[in-house]
Structure 1
Amino acid sequence: MAEKSTVPPYFSQVDVSSGAQRPTHVGPADEQTELLRDVLNAQDRTNELLEELVSTLTAQQRRRQEEIERWRGANPGVADGCREAAEVLSEVQVEYLRRLTDDVRDTGDEMVYGDFLLSEFVDRYGPRLAHLNGVIQALAQLGGGQPTTADEEQEG
């Protein structure tokens, strides 16, 4: 006598209806139509939720922008200083990225096969680059926009 397996089946039926019981005398075409209608209703609800989410996020972003504008108006000297600092740090960032890319070009082959070199590279450049990006973004936002580099000013 063979033992019954206690492993649950991989596939099972899931009732995705909204809780309403379907009549048992419904044909396959009607059942398919009803299922598609249920899917459409679920999609409509998802769209409503997404619209609410977008509305909420937009309102939060608008409030944050208004707060920053008020802050800039109350602190014009600091805002100008933030913009100038962001521009200088942006130039520092460009030079830092040049050194980083030179290092990758020089040691890239060794990093592919050597975990130590890759780890050393990430430790050396990763945190500093991440923090520098964060500081530049904060200063640029408080200063009134994206920092421009010397290259961009010469082009314009």
Structure 2
Amino acid sequence: MEAPIYVTTSVVRLPAGPAPDYDSGVGDLLRQVLEIQKEQLTVLKAQAAAQDGAARWRAFLTRWQGDFPDVGTACKQVLPVIERAYLQLVQELTDKLRDEGGGLDNEFVLGEFLDRYGTRLGQLGTVLSQLGPLADAAPPPAQASG
């Protein structure tokens, strides 16, 4: 036996009378939204500036400009030398591991490997991580007028 199907319809009637005046509050609401968006933009700009590492290093170099006037430029000049030394050590290390088949399977061989490469690689990496941001923050060299 089939279940009976009931169909109902309802009609919604809008109240009679004048339409509400939405224009009076919309302008105020839009102005408030605009003000909030301006405040959000200000906060976002401040956050971006606070997270800008290069800006911090530039401020650092500027603060010490009187005592160390050429340190940023010097970092920029010597950075390629340190990068080259670092990459040469990495190349030597990878060539050695590749030629030996990655044989670091016993304590003695691992200790010898770390004694030979670990300290130098770590120290050069640290020097790079210190000089790199200073070199990036250094002002560009003054161009001669001609």
State the TM-score, normalizing by the size of structure 1.
0.47
State the TM-score, normalizing by the size of structure 2.
0.50
Relative contact order: is structure 1 or structure 2 higher (C-alpha 8 Å, sep ≥ 6)? 2
Bigger Rg over Cα: 2
